Every structure is written in structure tokens, then in C-alpha cells.
Amino acid sequence: MELGLYTFGDLVRHPKTGKSVSATERMRQMLEMAVIADEAGLDILGVGEHHGLKFVNSATATTLSAMAAITKRIRLTSATTLLSTADPVRTFQEFATADLVSEGRIELIFGRGAFTDNFSLFGFDTKDYDALFMEKLKLFEQLNTSEQVSWQGRFRAPLDHAEIAPRPAQPKLPVWIGAGSPASVARAASMGYPVAIPVLGGSLPGYAQTANLYQQTWEQSGYARQDLRLAVFSHLHVTGTSQETVNDFYPYYSAYLEPLYKQAMPKAHYHSMLSPYGSLIAGSPQQVIDKLLYLKENMGLTRYVGQIDIGGQDFTDVIKGVELFAGKVVPVIRSN
């Protein structure tokens, strides 16, 4: 099972000091985390896309290119790219360029997104939410396999033997689908795409059921079992002891989720998420190991990626968490 980290580059104010780092400093932290993850031997690093002032990253391919230039072996992926409101041609060009910089280490996860602020920003209508995604996904498939493309659809100008350049270092850019609902997961499986499931809320057994649906649909669609690839993305926090997570992480996690709760996160919800089958992968190294092994055994995971730099934490504490994850958790998961 591949193991790694992802970041959204959030600019949440520190819950104790009320201060937030600058966008410049936050970007520096993200680049430093990429180097540390690479040197620690992690397999994958992802960068998410947001378009509000509380996040520093909206141009994922640019950020991945910067990370590619200062790392050596770690694979780099979007997490996710909001394809519905993007131009597939430009998206392909940008990520192909990043792939050239990385010498073949770039991947994409396409998703429709949990938020819709990008629709008005780029002049699209949310009533076309799914139609936009499917049309652009199918166009990207052509761009990814052909140097010249002729195409016509509803949402962009047609292409007539258009030259699609540059071509990536890899034969094709690896594409995953970010999907959470049973219908979305089943559709991704029927189309032969690897899927990345966000584990955010709910219980781990519930996500295991969704993963089982993906596996069943994959095989029923005629794809080989050995070709199946399934990832989980979740929030992650690793401390030396479980009590450190219980006592110290709550203010940061509550600050990060405040837009969702519209107030401080109820502590009962926090403790429920920390429970053995809760969705927050957090606690001591052994607690994190136990949850990841549960996911591996019950979901058939081939990849786990955790968001570890959440809620305005001091970056020194984030790095301690990365080191614990890479040094104490990853070796055990890889040996099982």
C-alpha cells in the first residue's frame, strides 16, 4: 500500500494567538513539507484546489511544478482538480508541463468538488454540475491519448485536428476519480478509473461498504482484479501519545472545520471521530496504525494519503507529525 500526505495550504488563524501566516510563508511550508516527505521515503504527496482567501493554492499544477523541481522520487498528485470548471486542454498542458519538470512523477485526481464557489468564479452554472464533469472528463481522455484531437461538445469551442502539446514524460498522465457517494464510486469503477474516496465524517465500516461496491462494480464491468486501485484521503494527526491528540489537537481541528459547523466543533463530535471506527485518523502511532490496517483489510486499499497540516498549527508541530508518520507508522503498514 502506498502511503503519503496531502495539503490544501489552508490559511486558518492560529486558534491561540489569532494570527495567520502570510501566503508566502504558507507556500514555503508546503514546499518544505514536500522535500521532507520525499526524503522520508513517502510514496505520494497531493495538493488540493480551493478558490477562497482562506487557502493559498488555487493553481495546483504550478505548485506541483515547484515541488517537482526540489524533490527527487516522490510522486505528486492533485487532490483534487475541479475539472467541471476548468478547460481540459489547458489543464492537460499545465499538468503535462509539471510532468516534464518532475521527469514523470505527476498524477491527477479529478473531482466535482464539495463546494460550488468555483462555478460562479469561472462563469458556469451549477445546474450543469454533472454534465460539465462528464463531458470534460471524456475530452481529457482524448487529450491524454492523442497528439492531435478533433472534438465537439456543449461547453467549450470545438477542436479540429488541434495539436495538444506538450506531451508528458509519461506515456499518459495517470488519472484518478475523487468520489464519495455510492453512485459516483460505481460510475468510476464502470469506466475503469482508479478511485480516491474522501473519508471525512461518518464511520470506517460505512466507507468499507462503499469500497466493496467499487470492487464489485469493477469486476462486473470486466476489469481485472489485480488492476484495481483504491485510495483513501483523510485528515491525519500523529502524536507521541493518544492523550496529546485528545488534549492538544482539538482547537486546531475545530478552527479548520468552523466553516462547516458555523461555530466551534462540538467536543462530542471530536471524540466520536477519534473513536476506533471514527473517520479521523489520529492519535498515537499505534492508534493510527490500527485504523490504517482496518482500512487496508476492509477496503482493499492500495493507497492512503493524509492531510496533516490542518488548522493553523505551528509548522514545527506539523513536521513532528510527518516524522512520526514516516518513522513509526509507515514501516509497520508496509510490513503487513
CA–CA separation, 80 and 87 (whole Å): 15
Residue 114 pLDDT > 90: no
CA–CA separation, 333 and 88 (whole Å): 37
Q: Name the band, by pLDDT with cuts 50, 70 and 90, for residue 49.
A: very high
Tally Cβ neighbours within 10 Å of residue 215.
17
Q: Which three cell numbers stand for residue 303?
A: 493507497
Using DSSP, state whether 296 is helix, strand or coil.
helix
Tally Cβ neighbours within 10 Å of residue 187.
17
Residue 113 pLDDT > 80: no
Q: Are 109 and 177 in contact (CB under 8 A)?
A: yes
Q: Name the band, by pLDDT with cuts 50, 70 and 90, for residue 75.
A: very high
pTM for the model: 0.96
Question: b/e string for 14-49 if b means 16 or more Cβ within 10 A?
Answer: bbeeeeebeeeebbebbbebbebbbeeebbbbbbbb
Cis-peptide, bond into residue 80, ω within 30° of zero: yes
Closest by CA to 236, choosing from 202, 192, 281, is 281
**Which pLDDT score, from 0 to 100, does residue 118 have?**
87
| Rg, the chain, Cα only | 20
pLDDT in tens, 159-205: 999 999 999 999 999 999 999 899 999 999 999 999 999 999 899 99
pLDDT in tens, 315-326: 999 999 999 999
Which residues lie below 8 Å from residue 202, measured CB to CB, with a gap of 6+? Answer: 279
Q: Any bridge partners for residue 236, and if so which? A: 281
**Which pLDDT score, from 0 to 100, does residue 286 have?**
98
**Which pLDDT score, from 0 to 100, does residue 295 have?**
96
| Secondary-structure class of domain 2-335 per CATH | alpha beta
Residue 144 pLDDT > 80: yes
Closest by CA to 291, choosing from 186, 179, 207, is 207
Residue 116 pLDDT > 90: no
pLDDT in tens, 222-270: 999 999 999 999 999 999 999 999 999 999 999 999 988 889 999 999 9
Q: Are strands 195-199 and 230-238 parallel, antiparallel or unpaired?
A: parallel
CA–CA separation, 137 and 177 (whole Å): 10
Mean of pLDDT values over 3-9: 97
Q: Which amino acid is at 240?
A: G
